[in-house]
Structure 1
């Protein structure tokens, strides 16, 4: 039985389905722009084989292991590393058997589409993953991974990736990006400046991170002026390794434009660990505006990813650390939260601020109207929990009438799971073509314009917005 329906995600109505098919044929093989994600640059630097199927598909993918955890499978049994160095499963075949035994849990989810696409199109598998086929799958994928054509650089080329951005902390030494550059390999892998660890006073190690940034740059980061100069220096260092964007994962979208004396005073309290929760939030908000001003100087696109209530399980956080599937969406205000930043720099067309949300109610109420007015704003695609066929469709339906297509930035896959990248882009291209087909069929978009819009959504908008 075929794992994938050729018409998946297309409309069931025949006329619209034919339109969607035609549009999709024009974009299915366009190069992939992956402007925001979390793949490991070490993969491309060392170009070593992936260790085993479980390490490729299960252990690093929070979409996968959080679903299994929701049904009572311990994270340690899936090989998820403990922050205390305690024992976890290390036998890839055993982990894979658990995964296969629970594969039915992914029915109807985007993860199932991504996984089945990877199995079929990357590894040539045409049978379903079950407890009975688990060992056959494992052996087949393991045999493939031992071949040169399944190493990271070869897959990069095979996937048709034109450019991919990883995400590194502001204090990262970027050794793997340096190795990539010095290797002479032509694949375009760029970094992204993620300064949360030196901007958020509530993050563990904030003061130590700021001190390290001072050591790296030679600026006195115990002073407000030196701290800002150190950011500028680190941003320049990241730009030297291809960075075109910064990324900010704050709990809220709050921005502030404080007098410099007030900001300096808050910074001093933050360094000394004396910020209240309100003051820490105000400092984060002010630093978004400072980052926007720096973007006017150095050209980095500013991405804001707010609204995740992170590390909801204290026990999982204590045992396994951050980013282990227990980050939960919450409501997010944008209109009042962004006003200080926008009134400071929002009318500058040479600034690009890309907004993401986990609060879908904000799309039509706040985000589309904001992006439909302020020159600097663009809307990021449906993200994380809404990175799904229905989430992508809702995004288009709730934003297009107000913001249009050209105040959005196409698609990005935001993934750690390398083999899912072409699958995720394929889903996005199918959903967008299905949406365009409905517009054409209902007389809201000219049929001659639709192919151009499809190409923009699949490739052009992301390439331009992220300056890639």
Structure 2
């Protein structure tokens, strides 16, 4: 049996000997710091119920769209991978899906998915053998047996990973029943929600009219009136804050914002509610709602996260048969300077606004995001996201943003994952890459060793707490 490459102590450190030695000295001070996870998509029922994971495939395969999309790209069927269908028709059981995953694990060579999976197998289960057809059943059985023990329950995993704070992400219409249960059991605060209102701010969603009607019923506000619509958001944001929310999140195809006169906002809302809007109307409504959300953040202090640039659910058959967030999402070009002009003109100078920008268009790092965060006190740059949450992606990010934005306009790291066991792996990759980046600058006499030590700790831990106002 072969051994996983993640076990090498110098993995991801610089190749040059002086910088590698410095990175090796920096890393121990950050390796075991607590984890701050202020944005993610783990299932809140895991923490509310603290029950065992059903099987290894449910932990490593079916919730991980990074893994699914690679397997799909090589022609593997989602039924055979055990991904549930909307129509309820049977799909492969956990062990069968796992065997298929293992037989094709070689496809992940060079990808962050392999780095995360190898790390998780070793960290949680002590497994160092490479996943393959030959090892599939033995590894499955070892994981399955461990999942039956208290040490592998969700809250125990948070303890083991030293997760200080973790947030889930829920839509505006979500009743937050799992967070209510967590409030009763005393873990709310460690596990928090995040307000993501896309279900009532994105008119490209087929159910937008029904969603807005439900929004009115939920809040008691008249959402046919623009002021009533904003009051409904104000009420839901307050409700989410009761369950720990510190931030809002907005997944939008572009970074466009708008600041329309009231009469035009009302006319736009009327068109949305009539169901007669087109793609241009939908884009304008999203743009106006971004500015409205920023103004509400000025009021209540919630940190605003803008995740722009993903063209989502580009496979209509996959979306129709299984739903969203299963791998068919592709990055698109994003214009932050022109897109955010209206929002920043309206409230970019407000001291209570903090907006964290996440981007999938890497060409904007040096050209737009770094100069913007390097000027506007309301803006910070989020860590590399989605397709770029990887060793190479982190290197490109730091190389392009730091010289203009500095280190203290960066929001640290968040793992943005649905796969619980990948959380410590992702943070470890970030910390190693940060140490490697800083070590290179120390070796080039661009930073002192003591400054690099301070920055490594800041970027690995404190930056995220500061950015998200976590006390």
In structure 1, what is the equivalent of residue 48 of structure 2?
45
Separation in 1, partners of 2:187, 2:229: 35
In structure 1, what is the equivalent of residue 453 of structure 2?
451
Separation in 2, partners of 1:199, 1:426: 35
Structure 1 unaligned segments of length 5 or more: list them.
none
Q: 1:297 aligns with which of 296, 299, 310?
A: 299
How far residue 2 of structure 1 moved from its aligned partner, in angstroms, is 4.2
TM-score, L = length of structure 1: 0.98
CA contact (8 A) 1:201 1:271 kept: no
CA contact (8 A) 1:76 1:88 kept: yes
How far residue 87 of structure 1 moved from its aligned partner, in angstroms, is 2.7
In structure 1, what is the equivalent of residue 420 of structure 2?
418
User: Moved runs in structure 1, 4+ residues, more than 4 A?
Assistant: none
Query: Superposed, which structure 2 residues align to 1:54-73 within 5 Å?
Result: 54-73=57-76
How far residue 265 of structure 1 moved from its aligned partner, in angstroms, is 1.1
Do structure 1's residue 12 and structure 2's residue 15 form an aligned pair? yes
In structure 2, what is the equivalent of residue 366 of structure 1?
368
CA contact (8 A) 2:193 2:240 kept: yes
How far residue 347 of structure 1 moved from its aligned partner, in angstroms, is 1.2
In structure 2, what is the equivalent of residue 341 of structure 1?
343
In structure 1, what is the equivalent of residue 235 of structure 2?
233
In structure 1, what is the equivalent of residue 208 of structure 2?
206
Query: Superposed, which structure 2 residues align to 1:42-441 within 5 Å?
Result: 42-89=45-92, 91-185=93-187, 188-441=190-443
Separation in 2, partners of 1:258, 1:85: 45
How far residue 314 of structure 1 moved from its aligned partner, in angstroms, is 1.6
How far residue 68 of structure 1 moved from its aligned partner, in angstroms, is 0.6
Q: 3-state DSSP class of the match of 2:305?
A: strand
| 1:174-226 superposed Cα distances (whole Å, 9 cap, x missing partner) | 00011011012477000000001100111121111111111111111222111
| 1:21-53 superposed Cα distances (whole Å, 9 cap, x missing partner) | 111111000000001000001000000000000
Separation in 1, partners of 2:447, 2:384: 22
Separation in 2, partners of 1:184, 1:369: 43
Aligned residues: 467
| 1:398-432 superposed Cα distances (whole Å, 9 cap, x missing partner) | 00010001111011100000000000000000001
CA contact (8 A) 1:153 1:187 kept: no
RMSD: 1.0
Cα distance change on mapping 1:186 and 1:281 into 2, 3 Å? closer
Q: 3-state DSSP class of the match of 2:308?
A: coil
In structure 1, what is the equivalent of residue 30 of structure 2?
27
Residue range with higher mean Cα deviation, 194-203 or 208-217: 208-217
Separation in 2, partners of 1:347, 1:299: 14
Residue range with higher mean Cα deviation, 193-202 or 80-89: 80-89
Separation in 1, partners of 2:109, 2:36: 28
Residue range with higher mean Cα deviation, 241-250 or 202-211: 202-211
Cα distance change on mapping 1:116 and 1:187 into 2, 3 Å? farther
CA contact (8 A) 2:52 2:147 kept: yes
Q: 3-state DSSP class of the match of 1:443?
A: coil
| 1:320-362 superposed Cα distances (whole Å, 9 cap, x missing partner) | 1111100000111111100000011111232100001110000
CA contact (8 A) 2:374 2:409 kept: yes
Separation in 2, partners of 1:104, 1:179: 41
TM-score, L = length of structure 2: 0.98
Q: 3-state DSSP class of the match of 1:162?
A: strand
Cα distance change on mapping 1:185 and 1:242 into 2, 3 Å? closer
Q: 3-state DSSP class of the match of 2:268?
A: helix
How far residue 9 of structure 1 moved from its aligned partner, in angstroms, is 0.3
Separation in 1, partners of 2:278, 2:99: 48
CA contact (8 A) 2:189 2:244 kept: no
Residue range with higher mean Cα deviation, 230-239 or 269-278: 269-278
| 1:70-123 superposed Cα distances (whole Å, 9 cap, x missing partner) | 11110111111122323322x111111001000001111101010000000111
Separation in 1, partners of 2:367, 2:453: 29
Cα distance change on mapping 1:105 and 1:451 into 2, 3 Å? same
In structure 2, what is the equivalent of residue 36 of structure 1?
39
Separation in 1, partners of 2:273, 2:228: 13
Separation in 2, partners of 1:434, 1:369: 24
CA contact (8 A) 1:191 1:241 kept: yes
Separation in 1, partners of 2:370, 2:301: 24
